[in-house]
């Protein structure tokens, strides 16, 4: 069975500071990894994904994530956050044999303060 653990439920940070949102996964097969963002009262929007190839993945809004197979991690980073990045962020995993089913972490609430 696959699982995802987001290590921080809430991350407060000041505007223009760097941020890292942590995600660890568990799987017995090769994985595909995703980060989604959910702004208040909205649906989930894909930030970035890792399918194969380069372990450093760049997404929208200046976010990037690094796949680390040995540490089974897929941490999300941004060098300088904006107030508008305040949202809930979800890490998710699937694999070739899951029919596209995504398993989500519990989410990390990023709160950017002025």
Partner 1 sequence: DAGVIQSPRHEVTEMGQEVTLRCKPISGHNSLFWYRQTMMRGLELLIYFNNNVPIDDSGMPEDRFSAKMPNASFSTLKIQPSEPRDSAVYFCASSYRGGNTIYFGEGSWLTVV
Examine residue 44 and tell whether it contacts partner 1 (CB under 8 A).
Answer: yes
Residue 40: how many CA atoms within 13 Å on its side-chain side? 5
Question: Judged by CB under 8 A, which of 29, 54, 97, 99 binds partner 1?
Answer: 99
Output DSSP code: residue 37.
E
Stretch that binds partner 1, among 13-21, 29-37, 60-68, 73-81 (CB under 8 A): 29-37
Stretch that binds partner 1, among 13-21, 38-46, 64-72, 77-85 (CB under 8 A): 38-46
Residues near 96 by Cβ (< 8 Å), separated by ≥ 6? 29, 30, 32
Examine residue 49 and tell whether it contacts partner 1 (CB under 8 A).
Answer: yes
Q: Radius of gyration over alpha carbons of the chain, in Å?
A: 14
Closest CA to 46 of 87, 89, 78: 89
**Two tokens, residue 52:** 């194969």
Shortest distance, position 86 Cβ to partner 1, whole Å: 18
Shortest distance, position 107 Cβ to partner 1, whole Å: 6
Q: Residue numbers of the site for partner 1 (CB under 8 A)?
A: 32, 34, 36, 41-46, 49, 51, 90, 94, 99-107
């Amino acid at each position: 069975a696959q699982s995802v653990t987001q290590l921080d439920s809430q991350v407060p940070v000041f505007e223009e500071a760097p941020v890292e949102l942590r995600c660890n996964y568990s799987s017995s097969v090769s994985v595909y990894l995703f980060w989604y963002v959910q702004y208040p009262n909205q649906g989930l929007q894909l930030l970035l994904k890792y399918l194969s190839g380069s372990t450093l993945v760049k997404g929208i809004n200046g976010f990037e994530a690094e796949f680390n197979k040995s540490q089974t991690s897929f941490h999300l980073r941004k060098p300088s956050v904006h107030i508008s990045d305040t949202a809930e962020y979800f890490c998710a995993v699937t694999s070739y044999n899951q029919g596209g089913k995504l398993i989500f972490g519990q989410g990390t609430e990023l709160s950017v303060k002025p």
